[in-house]
Amino acid sequence: MAGDLNLNEQSIVLPTQVNIADAESVVKSAGGHIMHHYGTRVLVSAGAENVEQTIQSQLHGAQVQTQSTQVSAAVHTSLEPVEQLGLEAFSLRQSHGYAEAKANRRHQGADWDSGVADTPSCHDAESAEAQAQGVIAQAATSTRLTGSVAVGLILVEGPTADLKFSSAERTKVVAEVQNGLTWLASQSPSGVTWHYDIKVVSLSVQPGADSLSRKEKEALWRDPAMAQLGYGSGISGVNDYVEALRKKLKTTWGYCAFFTKYPLGHFAYAGRPRVVMDYRNDGWGPDTIDRLFAHETGHIFGAPDEYASSNCQCGGRYGYYKRPNSNCANCAPDGGVPCIMKSNSWEMCAHTPYHLGFPLVDQRYTGVWRSGSDAHYLWVNASWKSFRKKWQELAKKNLRLVDLKIKEEGNNRRYFGVWRHGKGGHYLWVNASWKSFRDKWQELAKKNLRLVDLEVTESNGKLLYSGVWLPGTDGYYLWVNATWDSFRKKWQELAKKNLRLVDIKIRRVNGKIRYFGVWRHGKGGHYLWVNATWKSFRDKWQELAKKNLRLVDIEITNFGGKRRYSGVWLPGTEGYYLWTNASWQSFRAKWEELAKKNLRLVDIDITAPNDARSSLMSTISTGAMGELTTGELTADVGGFAEAVGDDDVVFASSQGDDGGQIADTPADAADSDGDGGGEFEAAPVSGVSDGIPDGDSDGDGGGFMGDIAIAPGQDGDGGGEVMADPISLENDVAQDGDGGGSVHSH
């Protein structure tokens, strides 16, 4: 861990003969992401496991620096100045002193206008000067915070000692920027990569009089600094530098930042395409440059201030998606929630991702519907706080959560839920260690609550379990972290005891594919089909429909770049529907349409932007619904996605076929037909195909028939009707979330 960020980071020094693209590919294969580029040889990555061994085995001559390893002095000496600064900054961030300074940073959590120190200036991109110099037109260099970004760091020194930067201070600036931009990039679901140009410019210009305006104070040192770099005066010269830098570093976006000790009209401010900061950072101090730099970078990419003295309002249309400033302290409930645009904290509210243009709307949704006319609800992309509140609210309206999905975006978790009409006991327990989850599972079984849905996520290398419980007195079983062979045998064994799989999860654990399942009492036909190509899955889905088996759970995975579909089928003769790989707009429209035809969503899956096979709606499928009647729409939902007019965002208009025909789909790159079986299959099922590796243990699980093993971890948060005390908030989430819906009186 570097700085105060809970990320697994490494710096990588490449030998001269290694191509950066090759290094990026190797890091990606290890599950990591390159966050920072310094020159052609120094990279900083995050998220990779065992990256040191992977890099050194595949990129001969590369050196990896972590908290326990250092780059050799000879290699350091061979680097270019920008590469040395990037490496030294990372070393500083790994030091005990740096971590201690962050732990004791001034005014932790205070709003930027709390009065404990000076307030960073409001965003000035629409000032008269900026408009006159064409800065608004130059928004094309920072339209949204995605992909690759060129960052020009310009340290401007004056002729006297008090205007110069020491070597340690130069490293400090680069380290603070690195820390701030690492955090900012970690908030994006698709990641951001920063590419640097670092210049130290020494001037003979004396400071001006205090009576100079802010514009004049900046021009006094900025124009001669730009002249030294070969560019013209004014903001137009800065624009030219940024555009040239973006082309040189071959990035999508670009901006620059001036750090100086010259007197400024304000200690920190931003206006496209530049940030201006005083190294002393007013009363916040240099140890908070990272957060203020992240704040000012937010302005560069369209995020508005949210603290009260900025005179913000909750309306308006800000940033890439033209969203209102709903976390503004002047009008948000309780003054809003912590957010980098509002306060000195590593937090981001649910609205700032829209302003920054994170690719949240590029998520793809898949849904399974079955016949129903009851009240229902859908709530998506919510923080834990928002989700818990909605769960409690809907419980009072006799709506019960039936399906839960948890997706990670950067360091944040987002929650998705499907509700159906229901009464009686219910329970929700999230982000628990295996021991905590097992104990809760056993406790609730004694209270006649049965697990109906399981989610498995990972945090700091440990599996976290989340579950949904509903009333039941029937037999049940839970089998987790199993190899395919173990899982298949358990599935066959339990089938003979009239236990039916109702929910399956598949994920990679320590590099191995693992299976997790929930069983409940049942009879009649059933089927399991796993790790199939889309064509194979679609064919199986059509085949089983004719045998009165209905899909009840779908699991979409992507291991090694191969997208696979797995499903659980149970008996049914009613109407059904399957809609896959849809944008949020398309999915919401389909959800509303099917509600009128008395079809209810029973299972949802969400795939990340980089997991989608195509930006177009190519994998659409529909199920035969028979004589469907039109019923009252019982729910209405909002969500993250809003249609926008930008040419580079495609919202596909999808069309299904209510008669059971499936739209043509492009051929899948893989050719595995999947593995599965059930009462309709004469031959026993075989092992996982297409080279997907098995694990090396039989798994842990249990039920009313077996014992279960204990694993270490942390407790979860949850609650339900059988819990006397109100549930507590998850400590690491303080977001409002987004979504919406309403239910009719029943």
How big, in percent rounded to 5, are the helix, strand and coil portions of the chain? 25, 30, 45
Lowest mean pLDDT among 177-186, 397-406, 412-421, 450-459: 412-421
- Are 452 and 533 part of one and the same domain? yes
**Predicted confidence band of residue 92 (pLDDT cuts 50, 70, 90):** very high
Question: Is the pLDDT reported for residue 265 higher than 80?
Answer: yes
- Are 454 and 567 part of one and the same domain? yes
Residue ranges making up the domain that contains 517: 360-720
**Which residues on adjacent β-strands are paired with residue 370?**
576, 600
Instruction: Specify the CATH number for the domain of residue 293.
Output: 3.40.390
Question: Is the pLDDT reported for residue 724 higher than 80?
Answer: no
**Distance between CA 184 and CA 294 in Å, rounded?**
6
Task: Say if 354 falls within a structural domain.
Answer: no
- Are 366 and 482 part of one and the same domain? yes
Higher pLDDT, 667 or 313: 313
| Ramachandran angles phi, psi of 19, nearest 5° | -80, 140
Task: Say if 178 falls within a structural domain.
Answer: yes
DSSP string, 613-673: S-SS----------S-------B----S------TT---------TTS-----PPPS----
Q: Could you give the strand order of the β-sheet that contains 462-471, starting from the edge strand earlier in sequence?
A: 449-459, 462-471, 427-432, 717-720
- From start to end of 383-434, where are the E strands? 399-409, 412-421, 427-432
At 411 the pLDDT is 56
Token code pair at residue 270? 């931003």
Per DSSP, the chain holds a count of helices (H) and strands (E) of 16, 27
Task: Say if 599 falls within a structural domain.
Answer: yes
In which residue are the tokens 């009240």 written? Answer: 375
Question: Is the pLDDT reported for residue 62 higher than 60?
Answer: yes
Average pLDDT over residues 436-459: 95
**DSSP-based three-state secondary structure for 699:** coil
Average pLDDT over residues 330-359: 91
- Are 278 and 407 part of one and the same domain? no
Q: Specify the pairing of strand 9-13 against strand 33-38.
A: unpaired
Chain-centre distance for alpha carbon 348:
12
Task: Say if 124 falls within a structural domain.
Answer: yes
- pLDDT tens for residues 210-256? 999 999 999 999 999 999 999 999 999 999 999 999 999 999 999 99
Question: Is the pLDDT reported for residue 648 higher than 90?
Answer: no
Question: Is the pLDDT reported for residue 442 higher than 80?
Answer: yes
**Predicted confidence band of residue 297 (pLDDT cuts 50, 70, 90):** very high
Question: Is the pLDDT reported for residue 493 higher than 70?
Answer: yes
Q: Is 65:211 a contact under the CB 8 Å cutoff? A: no
**Distance between CA 190 and CA 36 in Å, rounded?**
15
Task: Say if 330 falls within a structural domain.
Answer: no
Q: Is 441:465 a contact under the CB 8 Å cutoff? A: no
Chain-centre distance for alpha carbon 368:
24
- Are 301 and 364 part of one and the same domain? no
Question: Is the pLDDT reported for residue 145 higher than 90?
Answer: yes
Total domains present in the chain: 2
Q: Is 476:454 a contact under the CB 8 Å cutoff? A: no
**Distance between CA 455 and CA 510 in Å, rounded?**
18
At 137 the pLDDT is 38
- Are 365 and 301 part of one and the same domain? no
At 212 the pLDDT is 93
Q: Could you give the strand order of the β-sheet that contains 399-409, starting from the edge strand earlier in sequence?
A: 376-382, 412-421, 399-409
Using only the alpha carbons of the chain, give its radius of gyration.
Answer: 28
Task: Say if 409 falls within a structural domain.
Answer: yes
Average pLDDT over residues 69-91: 92
Average pLDDT over residues 371-395: 90
- pLDDT tens for residues 348-369? 988 898 899 987 556 789 999 9
At 639 the pLDDT is 23
At 742 the pLDDT is 32
Question: Is the pLDDT reported for residue 725 higher than 60?
Answer: no
At 449 the pLDDT is 97
DSSP string, 56-80: HHHSTT-EEE-SS----HHHHHTS-
**Predicted confidence band of residue 676 (pLDDT cuts 50, 70, 90):** very low
**Distance between CA 720 and CA 152 in Å, rounded?**
52
- Are 614 and 707 part of one and the same domain? yes
Vertex 166: Cα angle to 161 and 170 (nearest 5): 130
**DSSP-based three-state secondary structure for 467:** strand
Question: Is the pLDDT reported for residue 738 higher than 60?
Answer: no
At 27 the pLDDT is 86
- Are 564 and 453 part of one and the same domain? yes
Averaged pLDDT score across all residues of the chain: 79
- Are 263 and 393 part of one and the same domain? no
Q: pTM of the predicted model, to two decimals? A: 0.58
DSSP string, 402-414: EEEEEEEETTEEE
**Distance between CA 594 and CA 633 in Å, rounded?**
9
| Amino acid identity, position 302 | G
| Amino acid identity, position 241 | Y
- Torsion sign, CA atoms 34, 5, 189, 308: negative
Lowest mean pLDDT among 76-85, 445-454, 551-560, 678-687: 678-687
- Are 522 and 394 part of one and the same domain? yes
Higher pLDDT, 588 or 635: 588
| Ramachandran angles phi, psi of 259, nearest 5° | -115, 130
Q: Is 600:590 a contact under the CB 8 Å cutoff? A: no
Q: Give the residue among 229, 140, 180 at the shortest CA–CA distance from 348.
A: 180
Looking at 305, 327, 347, the residue that finishes a domain is 305
Task: Say if 408 falls within a structural domain.
Answer: yes
Average pLDDT over residues 558-582: 91
At 721 the pLDDT is 40
| Ramachandran angles phi, psi of 145, nearest 5° | -95, 85
Q: Is 404:466 a contact under the CB 8 Å cutoff? A: yes
- Are 445 and 520 part of one and the same domain? yes
Question: Is the pLDDT reported for residue 633 higher than 50?
Answer: no
At 120 the pLDDT is 79
Token code pair at residue 661? 């025909």
- pLDDT tens for residues 5-16? 888 898 999 998
Task: Say if 277 falls within a structural domain.
Answer: yes
Percent of the chain with pLDDT over 90: 59
- Torsion sign, CA atoms 664, 669, 672, 677: negative
Segment holding 505, helix H or strand E: strand 499-509
- Are 285 and 397 part of one and the same domain? no
Distances (CA, A) of 421 to 369, 415, 445, 466, 601: 15, 20, 22, 21, 12
**Distance between CA 86 and CA 118 in Å, rounded?**
29
At 360 the pLDDT is 58
